[in-house]
């Protein structure tokens, strides 16, 4: 294995060939490399190749969650999502680009069970422990998307700019299928450069977790009101960040025996969030 530290976007693009992987803060990738869940012959450190910092409604993909959580100008939902994510140590290194592309925290997957998402035939969470798992779109993989930040950006209607195109954040994600089990739609070597986050009239992010800080969302609810209406998005409820039409759409969920409680929490948080963003 080799590590390259290109100092420009062009150099990074040239370095990101087959068999290489981009590294921003490393908080997600370093343990995955160590556990050989991600295999690469070259690590490309992209810190000096992607933008970092906040300019109006544009946020560089290399901006850390720690920088975002104290910025008074970004929408409340995004700032709160960053503040409630992970721990101070992780937010000091972890970038917003890396946060959007983090893999599932399903422990079967992290412990390398030969499960469906790893290319196998069954979902161990369905039969086993699934208290933290998804209640929407949970067959064939019931993993719950862990990103608070992605739910906030989905409610806010953010746009992702890569080195090749612009796409609505909803299109960054895809539900895995039998012949393509990836959960994001980026091409190999494609780099997220920036996020365009429109300013809402009001927004909020509420998060239920097992302890008051430093835990993944059991349920995360983002709400953003703009002239077109109020948009709701959920973290921890589906394999990808989940847009919700309204509270009644919770009735379409398909909870597993051990995680229907998430729907009660979601109902309560949605009501609170709607009050918080009401005119």
Partner 1 sequence: MKIELSVNGERKEADVWPGESLLFTLREKLGLPGSKNACEQGECGSCSVLLDEKLVCSCLVLTAQAQGHEIVTVEGIAEDDRLHRVQEAFVQTGAVQCGFCTPGLIVATVDLLAHRPEPSDDEIREALSGNLCRCTGYQKIFDAVRLAARA
Choosing from 12, 15, 29, 234, the residue that interacts with ligand FAD (CB under 6 A) is 29
Binding of residue 237 to ligand SF4 (CB under 6 A) = no
Contact mark string toward ligand FAD, 211..240, x via CB under 6 A: -----x------------------------
Judged by CB under 6 A, which stretch of 145-153, 239-247, 256-264, 270-278 contacts ligand FAD? 145-153
Q: Does 5 bind partner 1 (CB under 8 A)?
A: yes
CB of 161 to partner 1, least distance (A): 25
From the list partner 1, ligand SF4, ligand FAD, none, which binds 233 (C-beta under 5 to 8 Å, kind-based)? none
What, of ligand SF4, ligand FAD, partner 1, none, does residue 124 touch, CB below 5 to 8 Å by kind?
Answer: ligand SF4
In a 10 Å sphere around its CB, with 0-12 CB exposed, 13-18 middle and 19+ buried, how is residue 251 labelled?
exposed
Among 67, 132, 148, 194, binds ligand FAD (CB under 6 A): 148
Q: Print the SS3 string covering the chain.
A: CEEECCCCHHHHHHHCCCCEEEECCCCCHHHHHHCCCCCCCEEEECCCCCCCCEECCEEECCCEHHHHHCCCCCCHHHHHHHHCCCCHHHHHHCEHHHHHCCCCCCHHHHCCCCEHHHCCCECHHHHCCCCCCCCCCCCCCCCCCCCHHHHHHHHHCCEEEECCCEEEHHHHECCCECCECCCECCCCCCCEEEEECCCCCEEEEEEECCCCCCCCCCEEEEEEEECCEEEEEEECCCCCCEEECCHHHHHHCCCCCCCCHHHHHHHHHHHHHHHHHCC
Binding to ligand SF4 (CB under 6 A): which residues in 116-155?
A: 116-117, 123-125, 133, 141-143
Segment 50-79, which members bind ligand FAD (CB under 6 A)?
Answer: 50, 61, 65
Query: Is residue 111 within the footprint of partner 1 (CB under 8 A)?
Result: no
Instruction: Tell whether residue 80 is a contact of ligand FAD (CB under 6 A).
Output: no
Binding site for ligand SF4 (CB under 6 A): 104, 106, 108-109, 115-117, 123-125, 133, 141-143
Binding site for partner 1 (CB under 8 A): 1-3, 5, 23, 25-27, 30-31, 33-34, 43, 45, 47, 66, 86-90, 92-93, 212-214
């Amino acid at each position: 294995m080799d590590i390259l530290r290109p100092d420009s976007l062009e150099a990074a693009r040239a370095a990101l060939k087959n068999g290489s992987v981009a590294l921003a803060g490393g908080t997600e990738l370093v343990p995955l490399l160590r556990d050989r869940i991600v295999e690469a012959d070259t690590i490309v450190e992209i810190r000096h190749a992607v933008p970092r910092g906040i300019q109006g409604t544009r946020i560089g993909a290399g901006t850390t969650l720690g920088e975002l959580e104290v910025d008074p100008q970004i929408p409340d939902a995004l700032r709160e999502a960053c503040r409630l994510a992970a721990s101070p140590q992780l937010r000091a290194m972890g970038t917003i680009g890396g946060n959007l592309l983090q893999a599932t925290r399903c422990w079967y997957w992290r412990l390398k069970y030969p499960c469906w998402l790893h290319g196998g035939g069954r979902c161990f969470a369905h039969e086993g422990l699934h208290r933290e798992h998804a209640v929407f779109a949970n067959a064939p993989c019931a993993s719950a998307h862990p990103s608070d930040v992605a739910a906030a950006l989905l409610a806010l209607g953010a746009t992702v700019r890569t080195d090749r195109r612009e796409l609505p954040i909803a299109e960054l994600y895809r539900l895995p299928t039998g012949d393509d089990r990836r959960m994001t739609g980026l091409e190999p070597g494609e780099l997220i450069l920036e996020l365009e986050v429109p300013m809402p009239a009001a927004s909020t992010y509420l998060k239920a977790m097992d302890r008051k800080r430093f835990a993944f969302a059991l349920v995360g609810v983002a709400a953003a009101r703009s002239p077109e209406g109020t948009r709701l998005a959920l973290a921890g409820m589906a394999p990808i960040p989940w847009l919700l039409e309204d509270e009644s759409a919770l009735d379409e969920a398909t909870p597993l025996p051990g995680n229907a409680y998430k729907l009660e929490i979601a109902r309560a948080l949605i009501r609170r969030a709607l009050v918080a963003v009401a005119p």
